[in-house]
């Protein structure tokens, strides 16, 4: 399957000039240093993203900074969890444009609780209007660096997947750091998948047509869950949708250097997240975190990888696509050059998000064997 390269790149020199300052920090694996622009300044970082972004994307980035959001690397965990999100920013833009801010309609939305030996896992089922027989099922995990965000923050992405694919979407929360360090979230994700298979019938879903999906840290949970499914010989999913996934522990990649001070996610922010979630540097050697460096990807389901051009994680997605292809896994990877991290759930305000949602829905419907005309 094809791998689509990024078509527009920034430069580290340009990032330094826009940010106006420099810092030096260890990479995630603790094996070297790299100079980069600090994300602590806030507004220069926002301008860095806005200057490279397409106009609709830039307006959301500017709205985020206008709401008072700061780089998470400058905040406490409690402050980071309380501050405005990109979901808040897009609602601000919609209100300024006189566009309704009501959520995308889905026939039925139901809050659930998944039992686990480590306590209940909050989840939410998005159930569209069904046709004949049970619907396909997408098990989805939200982003937030394993530390912040929740089901509400990523509600728009889950609704879009349900509406665009005609599948039931089970959006799953997980234990978050620093209260619960790695691999707590990864353990919860595998529990949620096994539960979803058992609960498929009462959700009106077909356990033989299941996909995994996730954004950012949730994309990491999705592929780690696929590896756990393979290793534990659980029923294999039909597909993986990985939206700007965390897939490695090297912060010296081209996209980290080009987008050091990007908004809403910069390099220092990723270092902050990893510091909160890991117990020691040894965790960074785990194949569930260093997927591109340490994981065996043979036997995984076909994948679709979505990336943003203005995102430190872009290279993670590109390298992951190459490694999956080398392991014999069918994969398509696409990058939207003028978009930032978190763009996927921003439709219809950001046209790139609308396009990405439709593209992923086409890929998922094909994996499920659902023709377009049936939706």
> Rounded CA gap, 19 and 60, in Å?
19
Helix then strand count (H, E) for the chain reads: 13, 10
> Rounded CA gap, 140 and 325, in Å?
23
Residue carrying the six token digits 């979407």:
169
DSSP H helical ranges for the chain: 12-19, 43-52, 55-66, 77-82, 86-96, 155-165, 184-199, 217-231, 254-258, 267-277, 291-294, 314-326, 351-368
- Residue 99 φ/ψ, nearest 5 degrees: -95, 135
Decide if 140 contacts 206 (C-beta within 8 A).
no
> Rounded CA gap, 326 and 176, in Å?
33
Active-site amino acid positions = 216, 311, 341
**Cα→Cα distances 81→77, 173, 330, Å:** 6, 15, 37
> Rounded CA gap, 62 and 374, in Å?
39
- DSSP letter assigned to residue 365: H
């Amino acid at each position: 399957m094809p791998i689509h390269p990024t078509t527009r790149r920034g430069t580290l020199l340009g990032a330094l000039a826009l940010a106006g300052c420099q810092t030096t920090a260890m990479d995630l694996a603790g094996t070297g240093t790299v100079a980069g622009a600090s994300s602590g300044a806030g507004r220069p970082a926002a301008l860095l993203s806005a200057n490279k972004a397409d106009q609709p994307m830039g307006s959301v980035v500017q709205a985020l900074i206008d709401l008072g959001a700061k780089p998470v690397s400058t905040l406490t965990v409690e402050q980071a969890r309380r501050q405005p999100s990109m979901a808040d920013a897009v609602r601000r833009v919609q209100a300024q444009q006189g566009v309704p801010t009501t959520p995308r309609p889905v026939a039925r939305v139901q809050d659930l609780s998944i039992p686990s030996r480590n306590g209940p896992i909050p989840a939410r089922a998005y159930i569209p209007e069904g046709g004949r027989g049970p619907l396909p099922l997408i098990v989805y995990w939200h982003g937030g660096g394993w530390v912040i965000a929740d089901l509400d923050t990523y509600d728009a992405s889950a609704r879009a997947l349900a509406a665009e694919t005609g599948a039931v979407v089970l959006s799953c929360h997980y234990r978050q750091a620093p209260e619960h360090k790695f691999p707590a979230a990864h353990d919860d994700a595998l529990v949620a998948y096994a539960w979803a298979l058992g609960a498929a019938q009462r959700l009106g879903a077909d356990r033989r047509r299941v996909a995994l999906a996730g954004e950012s840290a949730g994309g990491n949970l999705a592929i780690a869950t696929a590896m756990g499914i393979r290793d534990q010989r659980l029923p294999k999913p039909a597909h993986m949708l990985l939206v700007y996934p965390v897939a490695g522990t090297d912060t010296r990649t081209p996209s980290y250097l080009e987008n050091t001070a990007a908004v809403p996610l910069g390099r220092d922010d990723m270092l902050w997240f990893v510091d909160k979630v890991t117990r020691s540097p040894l965790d960074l050697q785990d194949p569930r975190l260093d997927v591109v460096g340490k994981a065996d990807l043979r036997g995984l389901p076909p994948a679709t990888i979505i990336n943003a051009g203005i995102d430190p994680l872009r290279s993670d997605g590109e390298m992951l696509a190459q490694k999956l292809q080398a392991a014999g896994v069918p994969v398509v990877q696409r990058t939207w050059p003028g978009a930032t991290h978190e763009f996927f759930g921003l439709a219809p305000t950001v046209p790139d998000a609308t396009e990405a949602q439709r593209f992923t829905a086409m890929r998922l419907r094909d994996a499920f064997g659902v023709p377009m005309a049936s939706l």
